[in-house]
Structure 1
């Protein structure tokens, strides 16, 4: 689709000539000769860039820029000006104009400036779309649950979101601590600033200080240049420190000072850096035991636990299991090319009997796998991974050969291989047999690096 350019020039003939020239370059151009007409056009018609003369009778480019900032703040404005008025155009750029082009106009220069403005607008539109998508994804109503235990969590999240207080999220692995941390951020005044997540358990001890606080060139062997840390990256926003109990004690002392003073020194530097960062920390460990064992600083604990929130395990949220399963299934089924209308009563009963040692994360994986293997439009107990054991005593635990993700990947690969073997490698027939689209099957063939022409051999790899 051609970009829409609005030309504003009181010299009607000049505007018309420029309109034709831009149309020949592939743009959809229109021209008007007053600021009032330009504002009316922008209020009723789609416009991607405004190209306006600086000096016009009555009202000029400066007044147009000011009014457009109120009416369409996302709209780039390029100022056209004679060489004698370049200083005025530069001042307008400082006030928010995208750029200026000098008269007499060089069409190549005009086009190059338009393209830069259009590229910037595309990036800003995409950023706005992604921000809106993130905010939608982490709205409170996407934290699914109606149990009293989870309603208490939602109430606490609502209370603390608008404050500056540090938050400590406690609970077993898989209970959704990062999801809650993001919900707090995206429902706070910091929503337009960065949310930076750091898993303290995943960073080698020798690197975590540099990862958090950055370093200067030459601070240590291999530091060939300066590097910004996560604290600086989160300035104005939220820093989520997952698995905080695994932070080395040497770094805990520096973390405490950074929290207290909102200042820190990058590794190898004596110069303090000031930041405005909200901390949300999380751990599945008992920090009181870690403190008693000398593994975690008590003063850091109290600094972090200004507002502690305990996330209950899924086994204590029985009322939420069917709701969560339906929520995850609704998200997974379209990705698998399936139309699944829900879960059978028997499947819901099996889900509620199971103890869920992996909590919400395990349930999500279970629903994704069920969407893959389901042959009909209703999930039954036979579609649920390792639920034979769960059909007995409530405390029965399924025996997993490895971690859940590995087991699911192995099963999914076997399903694909078996279908391809049984259909002689004909992907259309294999997809039909699996109950998925050909595109979905192709995605899995690439994911598992299956060589379709040697399907039988692939099964033995």
Structure 2
């Protein structure tokens, strides 16, 4: 693979020397006498690595490094200087340099450093290429559906995508909240900037502040180096705070300040930093209930709820089940090396009558399993998981445990449906939670959350 390297130095002889040394390794070398000239080259050419002097007239090395990190954040930069000090080296690395070399330098040392930097660049390019291919050919998270409830979601996305307003996505687990957040970012005016996702429930409480805001070396036991937080990583782009309702109260005040003032303070640092981040938060909890129960700050709720987008459960958009299933079958079948052309009428009927407590995520898992076991190009009803047929729907379309009374409100009814499926799965798996989660097509973490939410104690139901 041919690489393009830009050498920036105000000494023409040194530029020529480096060009001669690097070209022997099959590298195409561009040169620039100062930082401003270098930026023009970067805009015109596909450069893989910049080697820049530290001190130059006009725009010096540190200034050029800052511009490169701003305009071309994934482009590695090696800084070289005749004024080599530990302070300069550390400062350049903190500011984003890949590495540094000191003048006069050994050619072998230069070759090793350049090779590592170009290897790093190749890895980044491969990752970008794979993400692009996945986005184009395997769009599992495509926004598919034409039901009235889902059309309202699409209209909301279109209304807010160019805005920097804070967005709150609400809905049950598996309804596609992260998918919607990514769509808003991808089609908005921050699409060329980072999208950073944080699951607030998956990070230990003691590490959450450091994860969000970063920390300085020595701030706490185990902080052996400086670390930037998610707010800084997302600077200029979008920060997705998933399961925001699980965030500890102690941290909520700091999140509120970051949203109000766009200022963060890393753990162990007295210096505040400004950030430009559009925040999209998501939750499957009723935050107003959490506010009433003193589990969530009221002021943070209203700061997050600037532009709310409620996502419908899959059972509320039943007409979208078939097109979603066909899409998943097409993509997942190709991944498995199969050509799936569709579903039989019996299979579609079975899927349309199922309540899908795990929503789109459960549907995707169901179709993935069916594509694996299907013997032909059409998925039949016998290819679907057995739990879809475990209970037949009543005339009202709602399933209740034998002898139970009909709940007086929709939320209670849905909870009863969800509980009946989970109990059936636990009974079928002899109380093994991982197996029960697989039976109904949801993750173990989601299954554990539902057990806790519904007050189901496994040791009491295993026989």
Normalising by structure 2, what TM-score? 0.66
> 1:168 touches 1:280 (CA, 8 Å); kept in 2?
yes
Write the distance in 2 (CA, Å) between the matches of 1:226 and 1:236: 21
Write the distance in 2 (CA, Å) between the matches of 1:205 and 1:163: 31
Tell me whether 342-351 or 127-136 shows the greater mean CA deviation: 127-136
113 and 94 in structure 1: CA distance in 2 versus 1, 3 angstrom threshold: farther
What's the secondary structure of 1:206's corresponding residue? helix
Larger Cα-atom Rg: 1
Cα offset, 1:381, TM superposition? 1.3
330 and 222 in structure 1: CA distance in 2 versus 1, 3 angstrom threshold: same
The Cα offsets for residues 229-276 of structure 1, whole Å up to 9 and x where unpaired, read as 322222222221111112122211121111101113233443322211
Is structure 2 residue 208 aligned with structure 1 residue 230? no
Superposed counterparts of 1:3-402, under 5 Å: 3=2, 22=24, 27=26, 49-51=27-29, 69-74=42-47, 115=115, 118-119=118-119, 121-130=121-130, 132-133=132-133, 136=136, 142-385=142-385, 386-389=387-390, 391-393=392-394, 394-396=397-399, 398=421, 399-401=424-426
Runs (5+) with no aligned partner, structure 1: 7-13, 28-48, 55-59, 80-85, 413-461
Write the distance in 2 (CA, Å) between the matches of 1:122 and 1:144: 34
Normalising by structure 1, what TM-score? 0.66
Write the distance in 1 (CA, Å) between the matches of 2:169 and 2:35: 51
**Once superposed, what is the RMSD of the aligned Cα atoms?**
4.5
114 and 221 in structure 1: CA distance in 2 versus 1, 3 angstrom threshold: closer
66 and 243 in structure 1: CA distance in 2 versus 1, 3 angstrom threshold: closer
Tell me whether 109-118 or 382-391 shows the greater mean CA deviation: 109-118
73 and 227 in structure 1: CA distance in 2 versus 1, 3 angstrom threshold: closer
> 1:139 touches 1:187 (CA, 8 Å); kept in 2?
no
Write the distance in 2 (CA, Å) between the matches of 1:243 and 1:63: 45
Write the distance in 1 (CA, Å) between the matches of 2:151 and 2:167: 18
What's the secondary structure of 1:288's corresponding residue? helix
207 and 121 in structure 1: CA distance in 2 versus 1, 3 angstrom threshold: closer
> 2:3 touches 2:48 (CA, 8 Å); kept in 1?
no
136 and 376 in structure 1: CA distance in 2 versus 1, 3 angstrom threshold: closer
Cα offset, 1:295, TM superposition? 1.5
Runs (5+) with no aligned partner, structure 2: 6-15, 69-76, 81-100, 400-416, 442-463
Cα offset, 1:365, TM superposition? 0.9
The Cα offsets for residues 383-440 of structure 1, whole Å up to 9 and x where unpaired, read as 111122355433346532269973475899xxxxxxxxxxxxxxxxxxxxxxxxxxxx
Tell me whether 272-281 or 299-308 shows the greater mean CA deviation: 272-281
What's the secondary structure of 1:146's corresponding residue? coil
The Cα offsets for residues 177-203 of structure 1, whole Å up to 9 and x where unpaired, read as 111111112222222322222222223
> 2:366 touches 2:384 (CA, 8 Å); kept in 1?
yes
116 and 357 in structure 1: CA distance in 2 versus 1, 3 angstrom threshold: closer
Write the distance in 2 (CA, Å) between the matches of 1:368 and 1:169: 27
> 2:195 touches 2:238 (CA, 8 Å); kept in 1?
yes
Write the distance in 1 (CA, Å) between the matches of 2:63 and 2:183: 36
> 1:166 touches 1:278 (CA, 8 Å); kept in 2?
yes
